[in-house]
């Protein structure tokens, strides 16, 4: 039963992202369940800040505010885990790595947790928790103000700290990706850290699931042309695929397991 509910929630979120708004009656017919079931689903998704309830249905959350961090962990979890495994497979032992804040980048760290002779520099305290127990991984924490909502170290000091390094790989996320290749986020402080990470790495790997494609967000990180590898679960945008090809960005698709 729990699996059926999770599958239904995922389907509702996918429909909502495509249309911007969903109604109880439409979803009940589309998913072949009762309106009462859909109302409970929408209430649950609203409680997790994944949707906002309106009369007769729900709407996708605003492009001005990001989803709550814990809610983002649940969303597309299998896809993020698959992306994490694929990205970890691109990182050789004895490499130096930046890993920034994000639920997908955390999955990369999780997949790297048993590796050998890595140097990991991160502004993500969740990544620290995943890696510090392995004596074969040296972890350096970026200094700065720690945000309570996601345990990220951000601010001017964090940016200056990152500029002290030049690493082999940067593993970054993005909250939204336009079809023209623009990488977007919601928080200027977070964006400044991401930009510093990009500019101080020899190779940049963008790890982002397909729900980020076409999603609105107000702050520009940069352009996908600054990325060497784009790891995602599914490249659903021919326009973005063409931009990647034009700029020599390698696309790696990760198949999520059921």
Look up the pTM and report it.
0.76
Query: Cα–Cα distance between 201 and 164 in angstroms, integer?
Result: 11
What per-residue confidence (pLDDT) applies to 64?
44
Distance of alpha carbon 242 from alpha carbon 237, whole angstroms: 9
pLDDT at site 53: 78
Cβ-based neighbours of 129, under 8 Å, separated by 6 or more: none
Cα 188 from Cα 195, distance rounded (Å): 10
The 10 Å CB-count burial string (b at 16+, else e) for 122-158 is bbbbbbbebbeebeebebebbebeebeebbbbbbeeb
Do 53 and 77 lie in one domain? The reply is no
**Domain count across the chain:** 2
Same domain, yes or no: 36 and 94: no
Q: Per-residue confidence of the chain (258 residues) as pLDDT tens digits?
A: 567 888 899 899 888 876 667 899 999 999 999 999 999 999 888 777 677 777 788 876 655 455 556 656 666 788 999 999 999 999 999 999 999 999 999 999 999 999 999 999 999 999 999 999 999 999 999 998 888 878 999 889 999 999 999 999 999 999 889 999 999 998 888 899 999 999 999 999 999 998 888 877 889 999 999 999 999 999 989 999 999 999 999 999 998 765
Among residues 41, 61, 81, the one where a domain terminates is: 61
Contacting residues for 36 by C-beta, under 8 A, at least 6 apart: none
Provide the domain limits for residue 91.
71-253
Is 151 in the same domain as 108? yes
The answer to whether residues 22 and 121 belong to one domain is: no
Establish if 258 belongs to a structural domain. Answer: no
Residue whose C-alpha is closest to residue 106's, from 76, 138, 61, 148: 76
Same-domain check for residues 53 and 153: no
Kindly report the number of other CB atoms within 10 A of residue 114's CB atom. Answer: 11
Instruction: Evaluate whether residue 138 is within a structural domain.
Output: yes
Looking up residue 22, the CATH number of its domain turns out to be 1.10.10.10
80 with 200, same domain: the answer is yes
Which CATH number characterizes residue 194's domain?
3.40.50.1360
Considering the domain boundaries, does residue 66 fall inside one?
Answer: no
Look at residue 222 in the predicted model and tell me its pLDDT: 97
**What pLDDT, on the 0 to 100 scale, is given for residue 227?**
98
Q: Give the residue from 129, 174, 164 showing the smallest Cα distance to 144.
A: 164
């Amino acid at each position: 039963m729990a699996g059926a509910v999770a599958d239904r929630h995922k389907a509702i979120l996918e429909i909502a992202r495509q249309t911007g708004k969903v109604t109880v009656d439409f979803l009940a017919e589309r998913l072949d369940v009762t309106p009462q079931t859909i109302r409970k689903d929408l209430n649950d998704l609203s409680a997790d800040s994944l949707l906002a309830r309106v009369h007769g249905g729900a709407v996708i959350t605003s492009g001005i505010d990001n989803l709550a961090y814990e809610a983002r962990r649940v969303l597309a979890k299998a896809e993020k885990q698959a992306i994490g495994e694929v990205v970890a497979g691109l990182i050789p032992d004895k490499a130096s790595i930046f890993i920034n804040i994000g639920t997908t980048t955390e999955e990369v760290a999780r997949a790297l947790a048993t590796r050998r002779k890595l140097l990991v520099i991160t502004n993500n305290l969740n990544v620290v928790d995943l890696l510090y127990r392995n004596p074969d991984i040296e972890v350096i924490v970026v200094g700065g103000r720690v945000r309570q909502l996601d345990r990220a170290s951000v601010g001017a000091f964090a940016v200056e700290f990152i500029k002290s390094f030049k690493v082999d790989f940067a593993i970054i996320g993005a909250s939204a990706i336009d079809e023209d290749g623009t990488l977007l986020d919601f928080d200027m402080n977070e964006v400044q850290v991401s930009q510093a990470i990009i500019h101080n790495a020899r190779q940049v790997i963008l790890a982002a699931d397909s729900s980020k494609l076409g999603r609105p967000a107000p702050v520009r990180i940069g352009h996908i042309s600054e990325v060497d590898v784009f790891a995602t679960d599914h490249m659903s945008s021919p326009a973005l695929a063409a931009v990647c090809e034009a700029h020599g960005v390698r696309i790696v698709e990760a198949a999520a397991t059921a």
